[in-house]
């Protein structure tokens, strides 16, 4: 493949497309890196000229004991790493954590429940109170809790939920090598319910689970052909947790993350691309390349759901070094 010598003009104006083909996306993923970076940056600068990065904090409200068998997940009962014995957090402690996240500079608060699906009852009522409380603090609220019904989506919307996170994780072709307890179609149906209720969609995937480049292109193609595009797209790289079926997979080349982020930015110009799990495996320079290539959000705070995330001070330093814009004063 030859290098481009002129600016990728077709992308000087933001064009939103919903008719992507897997092959086109695969070609982007495999472009010479210099071209891919240039291309992604042209799009990113047009869509987000201020290089504003959103800080999202994450908290696990209900940890472990999940009936699904997602091969990457330490919270599945099918994995020997299942984190059992932790009781669910109640409303007040969760809101205290949200307040602390806000004080540390986050403007989105994401809450996770290790459930296959939401059931009505006290836990769901508590979830609604948490959403209301987080919104009252002036933060965006995001929930991830498995499948839901139309009525539950409506109630979450009424509580003010900003976004529902429900990842497709990988391609439909690779899906049954990773998860056997649910179908891709069920995942898509939940996303449709979320959309119909008027909640924004946070939907992305994981790289490093033995998938091919075509699988990555196939996942991105499904996301890019949604109309509208998911407002938020988390790109995770596998955190290979001991006791999970994927524990022995080696971590992905950081440049694969850069390529995934850049391609996501090119095909979904106005979406938030969140550099998610696996940042601890990326050095400072690789993270800065991801920010340059189009990542405009990170998980901020010392833990993800059950695994660790870079330290807050390290992230502050990183963002200051990169010269991107966040809500807090980097000099304090
Ligand atoms: N049970 C809900 C669900 O599956 O939608 C919500 C929680 S689940 C842990 C949220 C997302 O975290 C998953 O879809 C997956 O993309 C990501 N995730 C979980 N374990 C991971 C790991 N070990 N490495 C990278 N991403 C992971
Ligand atoms: C997403 O795509 N990544 C976050 C969030 N959405 C919920 C979760 C990452 C979890 C990583 C493994 C863990 O900490 O358990
Ligand atoms: Fe359960 Fe979600 Fe983990 Fe799958 S990813 S095992 S659904 S908590």
Query: Would residue 188 count as lying in a domain?
Result: yes
pLDDT at 126: 98
**C-alpha span between 216 and 118 (Å, rounded):** 29
pLDDT in tens, 43-58: 999 999 889 999 999 9
Assigned token pair, 26: 């695969």
Nearest ligand (C-alpha, residue 169): 1
Q: How confident is the model at residue 331 (pLDDT cuts 50, 70, 90)?
A: very low
Pocket test for ligand 1, best of 61, 144, 243, 257 (most atoms within 8 A of CB): 144
Smallest CA separation from ligand 3 atom 8, residue: 114
Query: Would residue 7 count as lying in a domain?
Result: no
Secondary structure (3-state) at 319: helix
Catalytically annotated residue among 42, 73, 221, 290:
73
**In whole numbers, what is the pLDDT of the chain averaged over residues?**
94
Q: How confident is the model at residue 289 (pLDDT cuts 50, 70, 90)?
A: very high
Average pLDDT over residues 221-238: 98
The verdict on whether 110 is a catalytic residue reads: yes
Q: Which atom of ligand 3 is nearest to the CA of 68?
A: 6
Q: How confident is the model at residue 4 (pLDDT cuts 50, 70, 90)?
A: low
Query: Would residue 219 count as lying in a domain?
Result: yes
Query: Which of 236, 173, 245 is CA-nearest to residue 202?
Result: 236
Average pLDDT over residues 187-205: 98
The verdict on whether 66 is a catalytic residue reads: yes
Is residue 76 lining ligand 3, measured as CB closer than 6 Å? yes
State residue 327 phi and psi, 5-degree precision. -75, -30
The verdict on whether 203 is a catalytic residue reads: no
Query: Would residue 327 count as lying in a domain?
Result: no
Q: 74: CA distance to ligand 2 center in Å?
A: 11
Tell me what percent of the residues of the chain surpass a pLDDT of 70.
Answer: 94
Prior bond of 228 cis (ω within 30°): yes
pLDDT at 330: 41
Nearest ligand (C-alpha, residue 146): 1
Q: For the domain that residue 257 is a member of, what is the CATH number?
A: 3.20.20.70
pLDDT at 5: 60
**C-alpha span between 220 and 216 (Å, rounded):** 6
Domain count, the chain: 1
Smallest CA separation from ligand 1 atom 3, residue: 146
Is residue 118 lining ligand 3, measured as CB closer than 6 Å? no
Q: 150: CA distance to ligand 1 center in Å?
A: 22
**Total-model pTM:** 0.95
Is residue 146 lining ligand 3, measured as CB closer than 6 Å? yes
Bridge-based pairing of strands 200-202 and 54-62 is unpaired
Is residue 75 lining ligand 3, measured as CB closer than 6 Å? yes
Give the contacts of 88 (CB within 8 A, at least 6 positions apart). 61, 62, 63, 123, 126
Query: Would residue 128 count as lying in a domain?
Result: yes
Is residue 128 lining ligand 2, measured as CB closer than 6 Å? no
Query: Would residue 16 count as lying in a domain?
Result: no
The verdict on whether 290 is a catalytic residue reads: no
Average pLDDT over residues 199-227: 98
Show the domain range for 183: 32-37+52-322
DSSP state of 262: H
Query: Would residue 331 count as lying in a domain?
Result: no
Query: Would residue 147 count as lying in a domain?
Result: yes
């Amino acid at each position: 493949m030859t290098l481009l010598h002129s600016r990728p003009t077709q992308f000087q104006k933001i064009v939103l497309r919903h008719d992507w083909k897997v092959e086109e996306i695969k070609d982007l993923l495999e472009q010479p890196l210099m071209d891919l970076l240039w291309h992604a940056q042209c799009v990113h600068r047009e869509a987000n000229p201020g290089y504003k990065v959103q800080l999202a904090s994450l908290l696990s409200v209900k940890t472990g004991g999940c009936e699904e068998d997602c091969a990457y997940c330490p919270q599945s009962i099918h994995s020997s790493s299942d984190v059992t014995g932790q009781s669910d957090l109640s409303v007040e402690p969760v809101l205290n954590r949200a307040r602390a996240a806000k004080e540390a500079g986050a403007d989105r608060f994401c809450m996770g429940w290790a459930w296959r699906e939401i059931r009505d009852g006290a836990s769901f009522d508590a979830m609604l109170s948490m959403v209301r409380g987080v919104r009252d603090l002036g933060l965006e609220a995001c929930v991830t809790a498995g499948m839901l019904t139309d009525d539950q989506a409506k109630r979450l919307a009424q509580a003010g939920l900003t976004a529902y996170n429900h990842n497709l994780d990988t391609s439909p072709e690779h899906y049954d090598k990773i998860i056997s307890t649910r179908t891709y179609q069920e995942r898509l149906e939940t996303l449709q319910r979320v959309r119909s209720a008027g909640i924004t969609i946070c939907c992305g995937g994981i790289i490093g689970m033995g998938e091919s480049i075509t699988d990555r292109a196939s996942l991105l193609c499904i996301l890019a052909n949604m109309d509208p595009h998911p407002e938020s797209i988390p790109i995770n790289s596998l955190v290979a947790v001991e006791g999970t079926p994927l524990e022995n997979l080696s971590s992905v080349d950081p440049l694969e993350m850069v390529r995934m982020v850049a391609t996501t930015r090119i095909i979904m110009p106005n979406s938030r691309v969140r550099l998610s799990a696996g940042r601890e495996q990326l050095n400072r320079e690789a993270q800065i390349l991801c920010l340059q290539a189009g990542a405009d959000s990170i998980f901020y705070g010392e833990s993800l759901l059950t695994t660790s995330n870079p330290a807050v001070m390290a992230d502050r330093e990183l963002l200051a070094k990169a010269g991107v814009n966040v809500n807090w004063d980097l000099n304090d």
